[in-house]
Amino acid sequence: MPIKVKIVPSVAWVHTETSQRVSIYGALPWTCPADMKYWEKREVGWTVYNINESTYGFGRPPFATREGIEAFLKAHPDHFQSVEDGYTHPYHPAPTAPKEAP
């Protein structure tokens, strides 16, 4: 049975001077308040949210483009089922159309 996944941006802590990347799911990367200014959350590619397990990623680095991960999922239909339509996760809500100005 394929794993149900939703394509989502991959987010990491990134050091602004060294470009070092650290997972947002572990400990905070700075060791003192003075170092905090060097770290920011950035989108670093595309990954999946596993709906069955409520986890992010699947044991590989994020894809650089959304098209890349879409092609990977289509190439492995026995393993993954993309549920882009009709599923909304509270942390990744469906995009909404911009409101028109009055």
Question: pLDDT tens track of the chain, all 102 residues?
Answer: 888 899 999 999 999 999 999 988 889 999 999 999 999 999 999 999 888 888 888 888 999 999 999 999 999 988 888 886 555 555 555 555 455 655
Name the residue with tokens 């596993």.
50
Name 11's bridge partners: 43
Under DSSP, the state recorded for 28 is: -
The pTM of this model reads 0.73
The range of the structural domain enclosing residue 62 comes to 3-82
Q: Does residue 28 lie within any of the structural domains?
A: yes
Pairing mode, if any, of strands 21-23 and 39-50?
unpaired
Contacts of 26 (CB under 8 A, 6+ apart): none
Q: Does residue 27 lie within any of the structural domains?
A: yes
Q: Does residue 32 lie within any of the structural domains?
A: yes
